[in-house]
């Protein structure tokens, strides 16, 4: 039976620490501020944005929301980003993805000032992560690392497999494990012998976006299994990329869905915003 890593408890600890530091910053006249931009009315995006707003209230940050209609033009969105780049009371800018199809996500991300890019998606921040000299980390991979740390799970010298190669999770996740001296393999839709590769992993991170994709025969006995997925099963019930019922008896540690990696993403966003406020006020 695996030990379940409780993302809600770990995220609460991270947010409590951020709240303490935010209070100390306020005593120095600095109030961290996050601006969240949402375009259109995607229901999942709306849930995320509401959760970010709640987290800001909890840790004592200034929170501004810019809700724009789905018909917003590229020029209008770029103008807002430029305005927020200049706004001294805003330390972090987050443009909720995905954007409506007619908008150029890449151009929007590149328009955000790298020092306010609390999602760590800007090419400048991605490059810093590659060389291991960074201020911000993408929130989900950073959350995974925090979960591993919370259980004192050793990465040094371990065989690590990441399923998924997205810019948001898969690639940065692999780099963070590599920085901790893991031996890392990235698997994706073209990987041959996927089952064999995954079953060698001491630490397996599933970020593929397919419900219950990882079965027991893909998991080594005693492996640490981290499920980044947020899917719906055949009954419309929330589930992850890992078939929890099958895999849990075989793993040593496992994250549940919900209540595993999900809560960590917003906690790490708060941590990044705090860091941005410190950098912009010369307090690092």
| Catalytic annotation, residues | 52, 96, 119
Count other Cβ atoms within 10 Å, centred on residue 212: 20
Cα separation, 255 vs 179, whole angstroms: 22
DSSP string, 103-152: S-HHHHHHHS-GGGBTT--SHHHHHHHHHT--S---HHHHHHHHHHHHTT
Cα separation, 168 vs 279, whole angstroms: 23
Contact yes or no for 232/210 (Cβ under 8 A): no
Enclosing H/E stretch for 92: strand 92-95
Cα separation, 29 vs 63, whole angstroms: 17
CA distances from 179 to 20, 119, 187 (A): 28, 19, 18
């Amino acid at each position: 039976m695996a030990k379940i890593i409780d993302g809600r408890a770990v995220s609460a600890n991270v947010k409590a620490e951020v709240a303490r530091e935010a209070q100390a910053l306020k005593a120095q006249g600095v109030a961290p501020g996050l601006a969240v931009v949402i375009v259109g009315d995607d229901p999942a995006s709306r849930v995320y944005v509401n959760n970010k707003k709640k987290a800001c209230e909890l840790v004592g940050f200034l929170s501004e929301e810019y809700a724009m209609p789905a018909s917003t033009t590229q020029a209008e969105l770029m103008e807002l980003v430029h305005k927020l780049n200049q706004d001294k009371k805003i330390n972090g800018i987050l443009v909720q993805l995905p954007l409506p199809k007619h908008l150029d996500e890449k151009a929007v991300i590149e328009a955000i000032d790298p020092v306010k890019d609390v999602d760590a998606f800007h090419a400048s921040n991605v490059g810093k992560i590659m060389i291991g000299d960074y201020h911000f980390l993408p929130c989900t991979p950073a959350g995974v690392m925090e979960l591993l740390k919370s259980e004192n799970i050793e990465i040094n010298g371990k065989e690590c497999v990441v399923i998924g190669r997205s810019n948001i999770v898969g690639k940065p996740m692999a780099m963070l494990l590599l920085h901790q001296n893991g031996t890392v393999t990235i698997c994706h839709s073209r990987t041959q012998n996927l089952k064999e590769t995954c079953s060698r992993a001491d630490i397996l991170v599933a970020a593929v976006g397919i419900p219950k994709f990882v079965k027991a025969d893909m998991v080594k006995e005693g492996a640490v299994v981290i499920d980044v997925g947020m899917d719906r099963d055949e009954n419309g019930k929330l589930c992850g990329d890992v078939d929890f019922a099958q895999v849990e008896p075989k793993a040593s540690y496992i994250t549940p869905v919900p209540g595993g990696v999900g809560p960590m993403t917003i906690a790490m966003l708060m941590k990044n915003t705090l860091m941005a406020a410190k950098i912009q006020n010369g307090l690092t």
